[in-house]
Structure formats: C-alpha cells, structure tokens
Amino acid sequence: MTIEFTWLWALAALPLPLLLVRLLPRAAAQQEPALELPFDTVLATTTASGNTSPSRLRLVLASLAWIFLVVAAARPISVGEPVQLPVSGRDLIMAVDISGSMAAEDMKIGNRVTSRLTAVKAVAGQFIDKREGDRLGLILFGEQAYLQTPLTFDRETARTQLNESVIGLAGRRTAIGDAIGLAVKRLREQAPENRVLILLTDGENTAGQVDPLKAAQLAKHNQVRIYTIGIGAGRMSVQGFFGTQNVANTELDERSLREIAETTGGRYFRAQDIKSLEEIYKLIDAIEPVSEEQQTYRPRTELYYWPLAAALILTLLIQFIALMRLSWPLRKSNSEVRHA
C-alpha cells in the first residue's frame, strides 16, 4: 500500500503563514483594555497576567493544525496492491430444453439414475463456474422460449436460475427454432467475434413459429456460432402393456442439430450419459477458451478526512487553551476578593 496525493500542488501552501508573518506589518499594540472590569484588583491581575503574543504551546498546535489542513486539501489517497480483472472472453448464451421429455430418467450421476434435466444442471453448473471473464446468458425453452438470465458477468446468478428451472414451465413441446432466434436477437448487439450459443435438447422441433434451419441461417448471418448438444441415452425405458421395455431413442433429431451447428461454424455433440456430457463441456471450453488477457486496477481509498479531523481537533484545543487563559485570572481574582 502506498500514499499518493491527488492535488500535490496544494502542499505549496505550507509556508504561507511564515510568509505572511514576514511580509505583513505587525498590528498596533493595544493601549487600553478592551473590557472594563468592576474591580481594580481583577483589572490589575488580568493586565499583569495577559500576554498578547501566543504561547509556545498554542503556536505549535496552530502550526500542526495548518499542516494537517493543507495535507487534507492535497487529498491523500491510499493505493492498494494491483488486483486483476478478467477481460470478457465471450458473450455466451446457453439455451436449455425444459420440455416434458427432459424428465426421462436415463442419465446417471454416480450410481443414481436421474432425469436428463438434472444431469444438465449438474454439468452445466460446473461449466458456468469455469467461464470467468465471459458474459453468460440463459434461455429456457419448451413450446415457448424466454430469456431467463440476460448476459451478465454474475455467474452465480446464472447458475442459480438454471438450478431453479422446472420441467414443463414453458410447455411440454419443443420450440428449437424460437430458442435460436431469441439467442440471436440478444447476441447480435455484442462484438461479432464473441457470439456463442450452446443449445441443449433431447428432441426435435415440434412447436414454435421459426424453423430451426432458417434460424440457423439467421445465426450465421449475425456471426453467432452454435454448439448443439443432443441429450439422452441411445436406448430408453418405456412402460408398455407387457411392462417396461428398452427401446431405441428415436425422438432426437440429430440430423437437424448437426446441420444447425455446421451452418454456423459450430459443432454437434451427443451426450448419452453424464460422463460424455462432461467431456463435451471440456471440449467446448477448449474450443471457446476464456480470454487470457487481464486488466488490473489498484483500489483507491480517500484519506483526506483523517488530517481534516486532526486539524479540527487541534483548532478546538487551541480555543480551549485560550478560554482557560482568559478565565484563570478571573477565577484567581474572585478567590482573592472572597478571602479579603
């Protein structure tokens, strides 16, 4: 930590009182007492003890008060150690499918079978934590797409709102094209080289007003790279008339997701389990790295109020001493009168 002065030139006023003493003429000596007192003894005592020149203590205190006042006027500040700030690496939006099919329990976390959305929350949350320096946004979509988290550096908020998402909140069907269109609308105001969309879905486009491939063309026109992730195991358990059966997962439209990614310069990934989903996010981290450039700033704290307070205290102390010097002869004279 170092001390700096915002207005260093103000310190040039320090010798000003000495210059005034040397250059200005002295005041004429007072010939008569300014106050007439009723008792001769009091007048004699006051005249004898009075001294028009300041005492050594008052002179020292006044000098210190002036020094502190000038130092306060120079605005001292405390400058701390450099603190690194991350530079924005990407403007990255995650579009997460919360349609009814995301409730299918064909993913595993450890030894526990869990739903697709729960697996996405677990892995995507870790991905969000690592994107320090990126501005993150979150879109949730089902039959409709809506912006849950606008682009922000607040990763904690983005992760919290992802964890609070509920299956079916936006409808039971899937509007992939609308989600892409909404993301493009939010990203096109940002720097072109940093626009990234990660789209996670487990189905095909069954709702919405925008065709996914046309939305991909719009994304390409606005220089938005889209990484698509298909969620769900290759085979899924289905309750039928003869009990639970394992059937192939045919709901996922991999062809469209792959075409969307390739159109925009991104890539398509298939996440059939939690491990493959983790690997996909690691790969995206490598493809779209956080910027390594750093900016630094040094915390600055104003300190002028400390010398200003010291000057005020010293001024009050000088006044207190002056009052004591005036009142002491009066108290002494009153005491002598009572004894007489």
For 64-75, write each residue's pLDDT tens digit.
999 999 999 999
State how far Cα 223 lies from the chain centre.
29
Q: CA angle at residue 226 from 135 to 214, to 5 degrees?
A: 125
Residue 43 lies in a domain: no
Instruction: Say how many domains are in the chain.
Output: 2
More confident position, 40 or 321 = 321
Secondary structure (3-state) at 44: helix
Secondary structure (3-state) at 267: coil
Both 162 and 244 in one domain: the answer is yes
Both 123 and 213 in one domain: the answer is yes
Instruction: Tell whether the model's pLDDT for residue 189 goes beyond 90.
Output: no
Write out the two tokens for 301. Answer: 């704290």
Residue 89 lies in a domain: yes
Average pLDDT (122-137) is 85
**What is the C-alpha to C-alpha distance for residues 122 and 127, in angstroms, rounded to an integer?**
9
> pLDDT at position 293, please?
54
Residue 186 lies in a domain: yes
Write out the two tokens for 236. Answer: 């899924």
Instruction: Tell whether the model's pLDDT for residue 17 goes beyond 90.
Output: no
Both 253 and 305 in one domain: the answer is no
Write out the two tokens for 21. Answer: 């003493």
> pLDDT at position 42, please?
41
Query: What CATH number is associated with residue 244?
Result: 3.40.50.410
More confident position, 52 or 67 = 67
Percent of the chain exceeding pLDDT 70 equals 78
- 240 pLDDT band, cuts 50/70/90, is very low
Both 244 and 323 in one domain: the answer is no
Segments forming the whole domain that contains residue 186: 85-295
> pLDDT at position 40, please?
46
Both 278 and 321 in one domain: the answer is no
Both 325 and 253 in one domain: the answer is no
